[in-house]
Amino acid sequence: MRAIPTLKISISGVRGVVGESLTPTLLTRFTQAFGTFVGPGTIVIGRDTRTSGEMVRQAVVAGLLSSGCRVLDLDVCPVPTVQLLVRGRGARGGIAITASHNPAEWNALKFINSSGLFLAGAQARQLLDIYHQGEYVKVLGALMRSVERETGALDVHVRAVLDALGPLPSNARKLKVVVDCCNGAGSVVAPRLLEALGAEVVAINATPDGTFPRGAEPVPENLGALCEAVRASGADVGFAQDMDADRLAVVDERGEPLGEEYTLVLAARQVLSKERGAVVANLATTTVLDSVARGFECPIYRSKIGEANVTEEMRRVRAVVGGEGNGGVIYPRINFARDSLVAMALVLHLLADTGRAVSELMSELPRSYMVKEKIECRSDRIQKVLKRVRAAYADKPQDLRDGVKVLTESGWFLVRGSNTEPIIRLVAESYDEAEARRLVEELRAIVGDCIG
């Protein structure tokens, strides 16, 4: 069997294993293509804490300068900070240097347009066309700009959250929070925001040195240290970020992880309690969110997976809140991006406003079980898998916008190829836990038969 590729080039950007497929030459060429695409002007860049980040940053700077762009470098910061500063500085675009939840050996470029949104659809395809054609704008040395360093970006981000939501009520009990930053891009700014909100903060894994103290994805199996710290400190809540600090997972006051699906559910409840309006989530997000939206008599819409697709749909329906079931919360009043800082502030305000514990809030929601699996798979096998799944469940309602989503008597499941990794993702949700697990095992058998 051929080896699984270590390079992914898609509308989500380019990512790969540093030292193998993700080379300085490829990075510079992709960045030259982006500079050609956006034209001369300011490009905001920022990176997470991966040890390969400085090499990638230098390749990115070289590509941008050679195509006539002015570079505003935020250094280490969350991806949503880059997006916020693109809008705030009126930049032509931005590049976030991060492989997000991928393992430590990976890195990536995420491309951002002048609205602070990730490239999607026609824009992403145009960038790819420029890259593949190799016809980049090149300027003479005398016309190249210097790199400008921005040292106050994190303060700008904190201020944006406080200006929109304010500190926690002074008459409420002081909340104690444990935050696990995964030694990533949120290591400095997350504790700073929580203290500014008025919470008592215990920070773990908050040394921004690029080491991975746990799996980067904020899923329950990676949160053992956070759960223990919540129990040991008697905290009201625990928060876990991923490496680029756009996603957030929540642990309740008993040290029990909720699952990253429920971050958006809790945040949406807080937003809708203050402002009625449409809600948008992707096809893989829990239907418990639908129950919350219905409780406030608000419509909910579904989009394809990926932040760019969610924000596009949010713009279309003028949604007041949206996001994804991977812990990504998008609140346009503050930042039109998945933003873990915004998510933390919304959840804390919910606790302060209701005076209830996280476990009490969860007990008021419908009971649902979600099972997620991923299977390594080469890109050229994915369509064969999807065709087999469509045929196997042809008698049930299907949504084919992103992979294959099938509605069952007790829930739903989704099979799709990842845009960021050489894998197939399987997700099933049911109000019967055994049924959700049975569906995933059934799907694993189908996938295994297809890929050998």
At 376-415, the pLDDT tens digits run 888 788 899 999 999 999 999 999 999 999 999 889 999 9
Are β-strands 300-303 and 248-251 bridged in parallel, bridged antiparallel, or unpaired?
Answer: unpaired
Count CB-CB contacts under 10 A for residue 20: 12
- Nearest CA among 313, 199, 332, 175 for reference residue 268: 332
Res. 370 pLDDT band, cuts 50 70 90 = very high
CATH architecture of the domain with residue range 369-451: 2-Layer Sandwich (3.30)
Q: Which fold has domain 156-363?
A: Alpha-D-Glucose-1,6-Bisphosphate; Chain A, domain 3 (3.40.120)
Q: Is the pLDDT of residue 2 over 60?
A: no
Stretch among 318-322, 370-374, 380-384, 392-396 having the lowest mean pLDDT? 380-384
Domains of the chain by residue range: 7-151, 156-363, 369-451
Tokens of 442: 């059934």
With H, G, I as helix, E, B as strand and everything else as coil, classify residue 422: coil
Mean pLDDT, rounded, for 251-265: 97
Instruction: Please check the confidence at residue 4 and state whether its pLDDT lies above 70.
Output: no
Structure confidence at residue 192 (pLDDT): 98
Residues 6+ apart with CB under 8 A from 320: 271, 272, 275, 276, 277, 278, 279, 298, 332, 333
Residue type, 238: G
H helices within 71-223, ranges in order? 79-88, 121-133, 153-165, 189-197
Could you tell me how far CA 69 lies from the centroid of its own chain?
27
Contact call for residues 429 and 372 (beta carbons, < 8 A):
no
Identify the pLDDT of residue 390. Answer: 95
281 CB contacts (<8 Å, ≥6 apart)? 264, 289, 300, 301, 302, 303, 310, 322, 323, 324, 325
pTM of the predicted model over 0.85: yes
DSSP state of 223: -
Q: What mean pLDDT comes out for the span 184-188?
A: 97
- The mean pLDDT of 226-230, rounded to a whole number, is 98
Average pLDDT of every residue of the chain: 94
Are 7-151 and 369-451 in the same CATH fold?
A: no
Q: Which residues are catalytic?
A: 100
Per CATH, domain 7-151 is 3.40.120.10: yes
